[in-house]
Structures are given as C-alpha cells and as structure tokens.
Structure 1
C-alpha cells in the first residue's frame, strides 16, 4: 500500500511486542490506545458495513462474503484496502516485525480515506465502537462462533505467527474462561451483540449456521444489506467464499503484495478450515468438564445457544409413498457421502429445531412420516443447489447391460474401445433424433470436449455456471461409466444413449462414430452436426498420451499404435475414411465442418462461425466470455470443479483430465522419428489422393 501521502503526524511510535491495556482490558500488540481514543469521534458513514467478531470467529470469511455480494460474485474486482487490518490496529507492513520497526500508521487513518461503501473489520466489544454507527444507522454484521472452537483456533493461530509474546494453550484456556484474554471476555462480547440483534442496522449470525448452510447464510446477509442475489451470483459467492477458493485468492493477493498482514503474520495465519467441533481434538476430558461448568454459569442469563457438535444432514434417497429411504450423516460425512448417492432430494435437517418444536425425534420412521406429511420447519430443500452423481434410480432393470470394460469390442468388422457395446450401435439405428439436437462428431482426440464446451457456452450466453452437462458425460455410443467402476470391477452398466433419450432439449450429443453408424434421423430431422477434424499426426500423438494416462482397457502403445493408425485398424476405424466422409457432406445445410487448427489459430472466428451455423448470433461481450471460458486454462478450472462435485464421472474413471491437453499444433514433432514421419507421409499421400481436404501440420 502506498503510504507516502500520510504526514509525519499520522504515524505513531509503537512496539509490536507484548500486550496493550486500555480501560482495564488487554489487547494484542497491534492495537494502540490512541486508536481506541480516536474511534470515539471517528466519522462513520451511512453506507459503512462493519464486520464485528471476537477473534477466530469467521472475520475474513464474512468479510469476503460481503465483498463478493457488493461485487456480484467477482473476486477480481474487490478492493481490499479496508480489510488489510482491523480498524483498531496499526497497518502492519510486511517485515515490520523482523526489521524491528517501531513507527507505524494507525489503520483507522487508512479507512478514513477509503471510498464508500467501506467494509470495516473489528474485534472490538460494542462499547468501544464509534457512537456514529448507531447515529448514522451504519450496518453491523456480527458473527459468533462457539467458544470451544474459538479458543482451539486461537491456540493454532498464535502458534502459527511470528508476532508477540503469546501465552500458549496451558494458560490460554484459563485466560479465556476468566475473560482476561485479548479483547476481554468472549461471554460479554457475544451476549451484548446478541441483545442488540433486533436493531434494524444490526445482523447477528452464528458461524456454525454459516458452515452448515452457506447458501442460506449468504442470502440472509445479502438481504440484510438490501442486495438481493440472483441464483447465478449466489452460486458464485458460495464457490468463491469457500475455504479452498479463499486460499487461492489470498495466495494471489499475497504474491501481489496486496495483503501485507498475511506475510507479516505468517502464511495464512488467520485462515483455517474452521471445522465445527475441532475442539474435541484439543480439549482433555477434564478441561472440557471445567469449561462446561464455567460456560453454564456465564451463559445462565441469556437464551443464546451454540452448536458444539457436528450438524446432522439427511439424504432422501427414494421418495415414493408410503416408503421413504433416508440416511443421516454428520456434516463432515455428509459432505463426503452425498455425491456418491443417487438421491431424489438433498435435505438439510437441524434436529435441535425439529425436536425443540416437538415435531419428532431421530427415529427413522418419524423422519419418514414428517417428510411425507410435509412438515417443513427445520427442513431446507437442497434441490437445484447440490449436485450428486447422475440419478439412475428411475431406469428399469431391462435398461442395464452386462459388459466388461476391459479389452476391445468389434462391430461390423470395426474395432471399438471397451466403453462401446454392440447393442448400443444397433439401438442407434432407430434412435429418436430431435430437430434441435446438436451433434458433436469427431475422431478421437480432435477437440471433442473443446467444441462441446463452445456449443454449451453459446447456448448459455457465455456462462459456464448454468451449463447442464448431462449429455456430455459420455459419448452416445458408450456406457455411462460411473466413478470407481473400473477399480470395483463392475460389469453391469447403463448405455449412455438411454440417458440422452431422456435429456431435455436442445441436446448436445457427443460421438466419435463414423457417419455410417450415426442415426438416420439426423438427416431426416435436419439435426445440426458439427464435425471437427484435426491433422492426423497430432491425433495419433495425442491418442498415445491419452491412453498412457488412463487406467482403462488393454491399449497398444506407440510402437503398434502408429502402424494401426496408418492401417485404419485402430478404434473407430480409419481416420482417413472418417474425415473424408464428413468433408464430402460439408455442403449439407445441417452440417458444419471445421478444422481444429483453424480453431486454435483464431478461436474468436471459430466461435462466431459455429454460433452462426447454430442460428445463435452473439454480442461482442458474449463472444469475449466464450473465448475466455473455452480456453484451456478456464476449461481445466471448470472440469476441476465438476470433477470435485462429481458432475463428470468419466473424469475420475479415466484419470484426472485424461481427455484434456493443450492440443498444441505440431506436437507430433516431439514424438515422430524421421523414419516414422517419412513412412506416415507416404501413407498419407496415398490415402488422401482422392480428396481436396488439406491440413496444417506446422
């Protein structure tokens, strides 16, 4: 931060060692009494937003959420000036501690100059906050966390920093219970804000509720700030305020030097995952008993209650009266488990609310009855927000086939990989094509997923968050390959065309099949076919990398693969016949032929041409978005996300990003020997003699 415009009078002499006392309360060494005095007359603005917490109660998480709400879910546009410290502290420059600096700038002076709306962080008890907050009706968000996790997190925090002379766990727990730690008594801190929660400019939320249900927490905060959110922006904020994404963000701003406090206090000193009930790994039984005694005594005069345990979640696996199949998990197990379940609904259940209202206890039969009878209090429907593996429960036994995913498959004299089954190829002869279907047809490793992503983005106005990837979790000729199927030796699978049959229009359908095996209905219904062709040297080079990166099948490696490719005996048959047939059909009004190399050279032109073919003209802004989100780096981020969420099972089945590489033109030069290249050129010249189709190999 550029501090050159601050005069000498703005700076103060202050040591960052030891502790500070003000009004009988102890503070850490970053707080100076003169700042606390100055806050009595601090000029509050009506549009200020104050994040008030006791230490280690979600300050930076709440602050990030508010920033994202004000920035429509975009972390790139956030100005973090006012959140590089708490208003009561000094601005602690990087290396200040190691270099022994004793002259510092009070952080409130930086906040004074910040543009509106200012997001201001503080750990101060209410009595030390500026009176102008209530006079001006500035917004105050107070986040409270259960005290056992607070002191546990504080213990980890101070052990991870370079700062101060902190008392470690043995004395810290006693100080916390006595109310003599920095910022005074936790009990007084939270109870006072709890008692003020009904004031219109104040909002009280529990950290545990934010962890259990960040969607509802974010919506509630946004509504308090009079900033209602669209579903799309809400999803972005949920994503970017997650621990994983915040860690990425703070890594970036640390590297750019935008948040000095990170380096001053040690990497991510104030960031941890904030797991509910982490105290159980720190408190001994005797410490817990003593804490419970003190807690009961000091909280006797309030109705404020905290969750000290993991929340419970219930999955509704099947819902068909009079039978409901349910499973209940702790919050941590739910997070790990729900994506591997074929669920009809996702439901968050807070047992304390339900039992407190006398609705039912934990017995499953009562849960079942309550769900069927629609007793909604305490239930939060997660449908449309959580994602599981694809729900296959509605497919009948007859839909499934017995099939091994090892070896190769032969049909009509052509070899296919083990994910293709002859019965699917037979079924495609009568497959019900729709007029608005969009078929992505390619030979393997020719840009299938890139073209598919572009088409998805065109149909979704450049927004990757709204894409339904149901029909692109596999090729229509394949089986739906569930994660872990290979490792678990599963032999019963669902043909993917059956999933596509039920998909909503417009369907984007991927296939590597030669034209002769595509459904006749494509031309009868004039469905759109987008064919992408890539130069064959890069195709076989990419195929070799691909099969070497997977756990599947019995693939022949490079030595035999090149010969197979030239002979036309590889999976899906001859590349030469594949591309030439589609090239000869390119003038049909429902077909579009494009070269991979042309897409790489000018993705903008390619995107606009594809959009025009689909009858979907794009604005300049949307084209920019699609160019960005269809780039390799952005697609890798997208597939990383959908892989983690279990939305694209094929990724895990075949190894992370096994079908994604940068697709560099002329990558074949790093693989072909001179003699192999000479032989390939001879075969290529012979087999392409009857066509005017040409490719760029450089």
Structure 2
C-alpha cells in the first residue's frame, strides 16, 4: 500500500504539547481531500472511538464495547456483521475513493456511535480534541500485529504470492517508517490518565479479560450481571470469536474486489497468540524487526513493556 504525507489544518496542542510540525503524518494514497473531510467531521459527545494500530485486538475490543453499550444483546451481535454495527472510519474511502460518500456509514449510524479507526491522533477529527468523547486504545506488540496483517492482506489479495519474509522486508523498509506503530501508540499512552481515554493492551486482555471488562464497565458507566459476565467471557473467547461469522469481517471481505482475493484463505481471527511471531518469523527477521522497534522506542524514551502496560 502506498502512502503520502499530509498536513492537517491544526494539531491537538491542547492535549499534548510538543513541536507538532516535526510529526510526519501519512494517509493512504491517493488521499484526495479525505484527511480534510475527517478533520472537519462532526463528533458527537456520546461517541465512543476505538483506535488502534491494525490487527491489535481491534475486533475483540469492538465486539466487547458494542455489547456493553447495547445491554449485552447477543442475538443482534450474532446476526449482524460487526462492521455494520461499528464502522471502520477509513474503510469506505479505501474501497471506493469517493470522498462524498466516505463518511456516510459513520454519519448514518444510530447514536451512541461506536467508531473504529487506525488513524494517528493528529489525523482524527479536530472536534475529538475539543469535545473529548470516550476513546479506547489497544496496543499490541507490532511484530504480532504485522504477522496478522500479512495474512489479512493475503486474504484480500493484496499480498497474495508474496512470502512472509518478503512482506516483512518491504514493510520495515517502506511502510513502518511512515506508519510508525510506536509513535501511534505513544500519543495515546501519554493520554492514558485522562478521564475520557481508556488505554489497554492485547496482553492484558489475554491475561485477564474479566478485569478489562470490569474496567471498561466503569469507564463507560455500564454494569453487567454475573450471568452476563460469564456469557461475555464465553462469547469473547478465542474459539467463539474465531467461529463467529459476524466477527470475521466477511462483510468487509465481500466489498474488496481484488483479482487475487480468496486465492489463499486464512481465517480473520487466525492465531490470537501473544508472541506468535516467534513461530512464524526466522531469527534474523525478528532481529531486524526488533532493531526498528527498539530504535523508535529509544527515540521516544519509552519501553515496549510500558506501552503494553506490563510495568
């Protein structure tokens, strides 16, 4: 995927004080006027924004949040695709490249809206910085996320015929420096103590999902009974999510018209492991990825363990 550098009209200086002019931001090319459309988008006070790097537990947290906000309506959750219940802000434009229609899936969503995005903080709507609706951020080890993203795009056809090793080499050389997953996370990590931001990690969700649900209930001012909690834990388990058609992005898959789509098929919810990259990548590939990640961590004076909330 190609990216082009974009400059927003303003930056969230009221949230994080730094030299934002040095923060390089990129959008998928051709970006057209889409970044401006998002910048000017109306944000509602009761919106809930779920922001992550790609393949970082986004679907998992979306399904959880949707259920909490909809009184644990499992019947609807099992009958209607998650992408229609909680739209991906950038998706329509990625498929159709039509700015005029791109935001309609979100704009037409009943309130309270649960909106997913992979955009950096400064590329999100400007009203988000002022109105400060609920924002939920999940961070995952980039190596695990990158592996998952590879299989995702093999499904869609964009990476079909390319080996994992080829994909990683190209990603570390071209894409990762532009879509820096560390800097993406750091800007939300810095806001983690704000009352309108809930920051967690894939690791914590794997370690103690019940605790994450309890914390999210407090954050969203929701309550669940013990019976609902047990149903949530079962519904959100790896096996249940993997076998649930509405959480495996089948609607989204149907929108992508790539000539190589479906020539190789992997389940959207495929492995779900912490540290799964160790089973997929050769030692030299892990070393190369670690060098990139460590360089970004050192440049921003943070550790991976801190971003994962492990210390």
Q: TM-score band, normalised by the shorter chain?
A: 0.7 to 0.9
Which residue of structure 2 aligns with residue 453 of structure 1? Answer: 63
Residue 480 of structure 1 deviates from its aligned partner by 6.5
Kindly indicate whether the alpha-carbon contact (under 8 Å) linking 1:629 and 1:635 is maintained by their aligned counterparts in 2.
Answer: yes
Kindly indicate whether the alpha-carbon contact (under 8 Å) linking 1:534 and 1:596 is maintained by their aligned counterparts in 2.
Answer: yes
Of structures 1 and 2, the one scoring higher in RCO (CA 8 A, sep 6+) is 2
Kindly indicate whether the alpha-carbon contact (under 8 Å) linking 1:450 and 1:630 is maintained by their aligned counterparts in 2.
Answer: yes
Give structure 1 stretches of 5+ with no counterpart: 1-406
Which residue of structure 2 aligns with residue 441 of structure 1? Answer: 51
Aligned residues: 279
More helix by share: 2
Which residue of structure 2 aligns with residue 424 of structure 1? Answer: 34
Kindly indicate whether the alpha-carbon contact (under 8 Å) linking 1:535 and 1:696 is maintained by their aligned counterparts in 2.
Answer: no
Residue 542 of structure 1 deviates from its aligned partner by 1.2
- Alignment CA distance shift 1:525-1:511 (3 Å): same
1:609 correspondence with 2:253:
no
Which residue of structure 2 aligns with residue 97 of structure 1? Answer: none
Picking from 152, 158, 164, the partner of 1:558 is 164
Aligned counterparts, 1:530-679, within 5 A: 530-552=136-158, 558-567=164-173, 569-570=175-176, 573-639=179-245, 649-653=251-255, 659-679=268-288
Kindly indicate whether the alpha-carbon contact (under 8 Å) linking 1:432 and 1:521 is maintained by their aligned counterparts in 2.
Answer: yes
Structure 1, residues 341-384: CA drift from partner, whole Å, max 9, x if none?
A: xxxxxxxxxxxxxxxxxxxxxxxxxxxxxxxxxxxxxxxxxxxx
Which residue of structure 2 aligns with residue 78 of structure 1? Answer: none
Which residue of structure 2 aligns with residue 691 of structure 1? Answer: 302
Aligned counterparts, 1:384-533, within 5 A: 408-412=2-6, 416=27, 421-467=31-77, 469=82, 471-472=84-85, 474-479=87-92, 495-533=101-139
- Alignment CA distance shift 1:416-1:549 (3 Å): farther
Kindly indicate whether the alpha-carbon contact (under 8 Å) linking 1:443 and 1:533 is maintained by their aligned counterparts in 2.
Answer: yes
- Alignment CA distance shift 1:470-1:684 (3 Å): closer
Measure the CA separation in 1 of the matches of 2:112 and 2:136.
14
Residue 635 of structure 1 deviates from its aligned partner by 2.5
Which residue of structure 2 aligns with residue 355 of structure 1? Answer: none
- Alignment CA distance shift 1:510-1:610 (3 Å): same
Kindly indicate whether the alpha-carbon contact (under 8 Å) linking 1:437 and 1:509 is maintained by their aligned counterparts in 2.
Answer: yes
Measure the CA separation in 2 of the matches of 1:510 and 1:555.
29
Structure 1, residues 583-607: CA drift from partner, whole Å, max 9, x if none?
A: 1111111111101011011111111
RMSD of equivalent CA atoms = 3.2
Structure 1, residues 163-221: CA drift from partner, whole Å, max 9, x if none?
A: xxxxxxxxxxxxxxxxxxxxxxxxxxxxxxxxxxxxxxxxxxxxxxxxxxxxxxxxxxx
Measure the CA separation in 2 of the matches of 1:684 and 1:641.
30
Structure 1, residues 396-438: CA drift from partner, whole Å, max 9, x if none?
A: xxxxxxxxxxx635342755557x8443221011111011101
Kindly indicate whether the alpha-carbon contact (under 8 Å) linking 2:83 and 2:252 is maintained by their aligned counterparts in 1.
Answer: no
Kindly indicate whether the alpha-carbon contact (under 8 Å) linking 1:443 and 1:512 is maintained by their aligned counterparts in 2.
Answer: yes
Structure 1, residues 55-95: CA drift from partner, whole Å, max 9, x if none?
A: xxxxxxxxxxxxxxxxxxxxxxxxxxxxxxxxxxxxxxxxx
- Alignment CA distance shift 1:649-1:446 (3 Å): same
Residue 540 of structure 1 deviates from its aligned partner by 1.4
Measure the CA separation in 2 of the matches of 1:683 and 1:408.
20
Measure the CA separation in 2 of the matches of 1:454 and 1:572.
30
Q: TM-score, normalised by structure 1?
A: 0.36
Residue 500 of structure 1 deviates from its aligned partner by 0.8
Kindly indicate whether the alpha-carbon contact (under 8 Å) linking 1:567 and 1:574 is maintained by their aligned counterparts in 2.
Answer: no
- Comparing 597-606 and 540-549, the one that deviates more: 540-549
- Comparing 630-639 and 503-512, the one that deviates more: 630-639
Measure the CA separation in 1 of the matches of 2:25 and 2:180.
9
Kindly indicate whether the alpha-carbon contact (under 8 Å) linking 1:471 and 1:509 is maintained by their aligned counterparts in 2.
Answer: no
Q: TM-score, normalised by structure 2?
A: 0.77
Helix, strand or coil: the match of 2:56? Answer: coil
Give structure 2 stretches of 5+ with no counterpart: 7-23, 257-261
Measure the CA separation in 2 of the matches of 1:687 and 1:571.
9
Kindly indicate whether the alpha-carbon contact (under 8 Å) linking 2:60 and 2:236 is maintained by their aligned counterparts in 1.
Answer: yes
Structure 1, residues 312-358: CA drift from partner, whole Å, max 9, x if none?
A: xxxxxxxxxxxxxxxxxxxxxxxxxxxxxxxxxxxxxxxxxxxxxxx
Kindly indicate whether the alpha-carbon contact (under 8 Å) linking 1:416 and 1:571 is maintained by their aligned counterparts in 2.
Answer: no
Measure the CA separation in 2 of the matches of 1:449 and 1:629.
13
